Amino acid sequence: MNSTKNTLILGISLIISFAIIAVIGSNAVLEHKSMERTVTVKGLSEHEYLADTVIWPIQFTTASNDLTALYKTIDESNQKVIEFLQSKGITQDEISSSAPSITDKSAQSYGSSQPAEFRYTATKTITVYSENVDHVRGVMSLLGELGKEGIVFTTDSYQAQPDYLFTRLNEVKPEMIEEATKKAREVAEKFALDSNSQLGKIKQARQGQFSISARDRHNPHLKKIRVVSTIEYYLSD
């Protein structure tokens, strides 16, 4: 009987002890959370670089009622464009030529009921792919010389617009991340100073995606590279 009574008392004592420990532990966690102070800041790194690669599609058209004559004219224009590019210092390795796209207007089931002046039209694209961006841009301004020889260039088509690439992102990443992190810390230090606090260690950090965009629509060869780093610091009194 005494043994059972002692066991019961021991069990009750253990339950009470665990309850007290749980309350103390819970209060300690709450107190720790209430004392934990952080600040989250962002640091921006933004630079402008010249594109290092240009893709320049040169598109021209011709029309005729004679399919054989059409192919002859498009081939002659193709040769003139290539010779012009090479005469301006663009190498053969930087030039590629696609097959012409031929449209037979008499085979189309839509359009005006009036017969077209020319039955056939042909569109040809020569593409310059070069890492010498400045040089190629200089040649672009001279292409009008071929217009005097009767070559009709397409300039308002989306497919005829040059494309500028920046491929050296991995080279500039480390420096930009370092700069973004430094700027974020400067902001955090200013906040700590204004709040009479001490800036502690980093709690967590998130690096945003790098973005590459044209500086503006008039200068697509100038690329704006930016990244934003988000860093959370501990604060202490």
Domains and CATH numbers, the chain: 37-52+166-237 (3.30.110.170), 53-164 (3.30.70.2970)
pLDDT confidence of residue 86: 97
pLDDT of residue 1: 52
Residue 210's pLDDT is: 95
What pLDDT is attached to residue 118?
81
Could you tell me how many residues make up the chain?
237
Model pLDDT, residue 126: 96
Copy the structure tokens of residue 229: 């780093």
pLDDT the model gives residue 33: 44
Write b or e for each residue in 39-48: b if 16 or more Cβ atoms lie within 10 A of its Cβ, otherwise e.
bebebebeee
Q: Helical H runs in 116-208?
A: 133-140, 169-194
- Max Cα–Cα distance, the chain, nearest Å: 120
Asked if 139 contacts 54 with a C-beta cutoff of 8 angstroms, the reply is no
Looking at the DSSP assignment, which residues form a beta bridge with residue 228? 44
pLDDT of residue 147: 85
DSSP helix/strand/coil, 58: strand
User: Which pLDDT score is estimated for 29?
Assistant: 38
- On whether the CB atoms of residues 180 and 227 are closer than 8 A, the answer is yes
| Residue 106: per-residue pLDDT | 74
User: Per-residue pLDDT for the chain (237 aa), expressed as one digit of tens each?
Assistant: 555 555 555 555 556 654 555 444 444 333 444 457 899 999 999 999 999 999 999 999 999 999 999 999 999 999 999 999 999 999 999 999 999 999 888 766 555 556 678 889 999 999 999 999 999 999 999 998 888 888 999 877 778 899 999 999 999 999 999 999 999 999 999 999 998 999 999 999 998 899 999 999 999 999 999 999 999 999 987
Q: Supply the pLDDT for residue 27.
A: 45
Which residue type occupies 76? E
Bridge pairing between strands 37-50 and 152-154: unpaired
Long-range own/partner contacts, residues 34-40 (CB < 8 A, 24 or more apart) = 36/234, 37/197, 37/234, 37/235, 37/236, 38/203, 38/232, 38/233, 38/234, 38/235, 39/188, 39/191, 39/192, 39/199, 39/232, 39/233, 39/235, 40/230, 40/231, 40/232, 40/233
Half-sphere exposure of 24 (CA within 13 A, CB side): 6
